[in-house]
Amino acid sequence: MDQVPKTSDLSPERLARLWDIGSDVHVDPADGAGGSEERFAELLRDWMARPLPPDSAETQTLASLLPEALGRLCRKLRPFSGDSIGFLITSPDTDVHVLMRIKDHAKELGAAPTSEIEREAALAVYFAAIASAMVFHDARISQHSNSKLQSAFETLRKRNGVPPELLSLFEKACNPL
């Protein structure tokens, strides 16, 4: 029973390789990786619109910092302000620590999705957080090699359904690599 993926611009092998870059879980291309472009775009928009959930351990740490580091606290409180993940990823003012949390959150949710298309959307957010740290802070928040990151960014730049602000971020992230 051969299924042809509905993603016209990405082969199942490229999708599997892309996910393998961002996760310890390998996606078998024979599993029918992909899904409708519209569903991917919708899920990615949902990801970008939702706020970053607070980390309970970090909340306690932030409360203890109040008296000694109010300026630093304001930057760290940014994810609790209700800003969307999309805003945080595309803002040059977002602290690297917040981008690391977004990356980890996307990786965690992408490792146990209910569908392959949800995994793809989580993967796009994962790499967008990495690209944001590179572009806006000249910081590495990933252990992936430059060639693996370049490949992931290039693949996502060609992916239908990726919002223009992320396409621009992926393009900028490719330049210094």
Burial of 175 (0-12, 13-18, 19+ CB in 10 A): exposed
What are the tens digits of pLDDT across the range 52-104? 877 655 555 555 555 555 555 455 554 555 789 999 999 999 999 999 999 99
Question: Residues of the chain with pLDDT > 90: what percent?
Answer: 47
- Phi–psi pair at 51, nearest 5 degrees: -80, 155
Rounded to whole angstroms, the Cα distance separating 161 from 34 reads: 13
Whether the CB-CB separation of 99 and 141 falls below 8 Å is answered with yes
pTM score over 0.75: no
> What is the reported pLDDT for 26?
39
Cα 136 versus chain centre, distance: 15
> What is the reported pLDDT for 51?
85
Q: Which two tokens stand for residue 170?
A: 């992926």
- Phi–psi pair at 84, nearest 5 degrees: -75, 160
Q: Is 83 helix (H, G, I), strand (E, B) or coil?
A: coil
Q: Is 14 helix (H, G, I), strand (E, B) or coil?
A: helix
For the chain, give the mean pLDDT. Answer: 78
> What is the reported pLDDT for 28?
40
CA distances from 11 to 4, 7, 14, 99, 127 (A): 9, 7, 5, 29, 19
First CA to last CA across the chain, in angstroms? 41
What are the tens digits of pLDDT across the range 114-148? 788 999 999 999 999 999 999 999 999 999 999 99
- pLDDT band of residue 175 (cuts 50, 70, 90) is confident
